[in-house]
Amino acid sequence: MRISYHNHTVWSDGTATLAEMLAGARAAGVDEFGLSDHFVLFPEGHGTDAGWIMPPEFLDAYVATLWEAGEHAPEGVTLRVGVEADYFPQTVEAAKARLARHRFDYIIGSVHFTARDPDAADSPLFPIDCAAGCWDALTPDGRNAVWRQYWARIRELAACGLCDFIGHLDLPKKFGHFPTIDLSAEICEALDAIADHGLAIEINTAGWQKPVREAYPSLALLREARRRDIPLLINADAHAPGDVAADYDRAYALARAAGYTELVRYVGRERIGYRMDE
């Protein structure tokens, strides 16, 4: 069984339509294909004109379009309805309320932003994966602060009830900027929260195509997740039809190296396990 749930279309920052992505899924031999365009409610006063998000007012039409498209998906492909929701402590309850109006198969929770200065109440946002230059401009202490805050927000995300699984764990490494201090305590707290609240994580194969040249998360983090019995998916984070199952063979090997023999899928936000060799 080949499943790909973390994918984007022109509803947010993808380059292709839903129909084109479904055709790509069929060509790649994907059995269950999910769309998860970006839904973001920015904190008041911290909005952005970033072109990669789906305008929040489009959510109703987005969900309706996906459910309708599922009735006409290509033969052999089941369409799952999802969304990727950003976590902000200031807006998480409003985001949960908006998403609760709709029927989803799964919700991905992600952290794409921290505060540029975590000690300042009015700090501008720091975009974790926008551009290498944002990281280059930080001091080593500034980078460490972003990393520390990232893991704190992952811990909060896991506990807040927003999502079913966490997207691209350890995303801040995208441009090759790693912390220079020991954050193992913060990482363990985040992983413990994911396990305690019954969430899954994904191997996100897109990292192999980024400057870091490493899947999200690292093998070391995957092993820690497996030690906590955190369920696992494999996703491509595709933005084009040709990438919906990119590097899946590498991802299966990585999962096995971490000790996983089972993956999970979702129907109506219910998690279902299946063996990787099925």
Longest dimension (CA), the chain: 53
Please state, in angstroms and rounded to a whole number, the distance separating the CA atoms of residues 30 and 18: 15
What are the distances in angstroms from CA 185 to CA 148, 151, 190? 10, 10, 9
Residue 30 burial (CB count, 10 A): 25
Residue type, position 197, single letter: H
Two tokens, residue 9: 């279309």
Q: CB under 8 Å to 45, separation ≥6 — which residues?
A: 122
Contact 4, 22 (CB under 8 A): no
Two tokens, residue 75: 């033969």
How many degrees, rounded to 5, is the angle at CA 21 between CA 16 and CA 23?
125
CB environment 49-62: b (16+ within 10 A), e (fewer): ebebbbeeeebeeb
Q: Which domains does the chain have, with CATH numbers?
A: 3-275 (3.20.20.140)
User: pLDDT (tens digit, 0 to 9) for every residue of the chain, 278 residues total?
Assistant: 999 999 999 999 999 999 999 999 999 999 999 999 999 999 987 766 667 899 999 999 999 999 999 999 999 999 999 999 999 999 999 999 999 999 999 999 999 999 877 766 677 899 999 899 999 999 999 999 999 999 999 999 999 999 999 999 999 999 999 999 999 999 999 999 999 999 999 999 999 999 999 999 999 999 999 999 999 999 999 999 999 999 999 999 999 999 999 999 999 999 999 999 87
